[in-house]
Structure 1
């Protein structure tokens, strides 16, 4: 279902988190559940994967993850503060060790000069706090932006599992 590299990354995340006895949740907007899908495609993922939140709308981000409406109004859904709040909210709401979030503009429309198509913000929340990355993939097409986002999110999870 997923490209080989994504399958391998997801398996590495499951193995690394399992070795630590950690549980994981995802908070996804533009990826629409693809990160959770990649993780749960791995046999044995039930020992690690707790849940995935697909929070496509601003209301869902607030209602399901506790992202303050003021954060979204002030900075936008596609922003560092929102990505950080999504990851932190997913970790707390799910009661997991690690959570990753993704919010971005996959295209083909919806971009602006300030926030172009292909801009994606990521958050990763663990015991040490919340990290953030932003990537500007460019207008690669909706599917490629989403797949690249899955790769980055899995990489963040793997780094967190191996680094703490």
Structure 2
């Protein structure tokens, strides 16, 4: 499991700057990164886009994508990550959108989180992780840890 400090160190080494686009975590990934002293040399910005309107306004997520797939989808995670790159000076962006709970539905259960990872000049990666109904706080913590691991993997 990668730490925020390890992600920042790797980003520094490779000359990469980072942005985040967060929905269900409400800024927790950005907070984890900026909790590390000196992070400002590689962390550019974080977008907290909890509402669909914010996703569209701040990141350029298309209304059609939200209508067709819903906010908790790999399609939206992709557009969030790519939008974070487009609306920042970052060269690596991670995006998360999910259902932390409580609640969910038969089709989008509690604990489902979609991740997007965009890097300048490379194909955007998306994936869905089913953390299960482990509770809101645990889903959010697990999402932050997984996002850090995705960034670390992209920087190794």
1:60 aligned residue: 54
Other structure's SS at 1:85 match: helix
For the residues of structure 1 that align with 2:63 and 2:46, how far apart are their CA atoms?
Answer: 21
Aligned residues: 155
Question: Which TM-score applies when normalising by structure 2?
Answer: 0.97
- Structure 2: gaps spanning 5 or more residues: none
1:161 aligned residue: 155
For the residues of structure 2 that align with 1:116 and 1:33, how far apart are their CA atoms?
Answer: 22
1:25 aligns with 2:19: yes
Q: Which string of whole-angstrom CA distances, capped at 9 and with x for unpartnered residues, describes residues 46-91 of structure 1?
A: 0110000000000000000000011001100000100000000001
1:114 aligns with 2:107: yes
Write out aligned runs for 1:90-105 (5 A): 90-105=84-99
For the residues of structure 2 that align with 1:129 and 1:27, how far apart are their CA atoms?
Answer: 17
For the residues of structure 1 that align with 2:78 and 2:63, how far apart are their CA atoms?
Answer: 14
Q: Which string of whole-angstrom CA distances, capped at 9 and with x for unpartnered residues, describes residues 95-127 of structure 1?
A: 211000000000012x11111000000000002
More helix by share: 1
Aligned match for 2:117, one of 111, 124, 134: 124
1:49 aligned residue: 43
For the residues of structure 2 that align with 1:65 and 1:161, how far apart are their CA atoms?
Answer: 23
1:78 aligns with 2:72: yes
Aligned match for 1:69, one of 63, 70, 76: 63
The CA RMSD measured in Å over matched residues stands at: 0.9
Question: Which TM-score applies when normalising by structure 1?
Answer: 0.92
1:14 aligns with 2:14: no
- Structure 1: gaps spanning 5 or more residues: none
